[in-house]
Amino acid sequence: MMDIVDSDKEIKEICIRLLTRREHSQRELLDKLALKGIERCKTQDVINQLADESWQSDERFAESYARYRIQKGFGPVKITHELRQKGISDFDLEPVITEIAESWFGLLRQVYDKKYADNGELSQKERIKRSRFLLQRGFSHEMINTVLK
């Protein structure tokens, strides 16, 4: 019985060490602990306890991650996909984008203007090249078509 308490304590210490460096989602913590050879069934209870104690918060992680990626110039499609990969499925990005860049179109315009000097009429090849760049950044076709017109 004492062995289980020690291992829970050890798991909690590892998690707190990770969480003091930066926010982590529950899935990230589970994955990192699994890499250390700790079984997921043992870690889930500890992570739930840390969430109850406000050491870990998926919402805080999602907001922090979204803010970071928006500041790097990535769009809603890419950020939403990356959050899903990190175990966050339903996070509203609108309050974060409003705080940082007013709107997704405003961010798209910033990214586009930083990368390309607008030289008037674009050839089809150049238009496709610019569109592909913006798609890779995570902006939708509709948003890209609006900025390229």
pLDDT value for 77: 92
Average confidence score pLDDT of the chain? 88
Phi-psi region of 86 (alpha: psi -120 to 50; beta: other; left: phi over 0): alpha
- Mean pLDDT in residue range 71-98: 89
Q: Is 69 a residue whose pLDDT tops 90? A: yes
pLDDT digits (tens, 9 = 90+) for 120-139: 788 899 999 999 999 999 99
pLDDT, position 23: 95
CATH no., domain 1-56: 1.10.10.10
* Stretch(es) of the chain classified as CATH 1.10.10.10: 1-56
CA 15 to chain centre: 19
- Pairwise pLDDT comparison (86 vs 90), residue with the higher score: 86
**With 0-12 CB in 10 A as exposed, 13-18 as middle and 19+ as buried, what is 37?**
exposed
* Mean pLDDT of the 109-119 span: 87
Q: In the block, which residue shows the tokens 């990230």?
A: 28
Model confidence band, residue 39 (pLDDT cutoffs 50, 70, 90): confident
Instruction: Say yes or no to pLDDT of 5 above 50.
Output: no
Give the whole-number percent of the chain exceeding pLDDT 90. Answer: 64
pLDDT for 142 beyond 70: yes
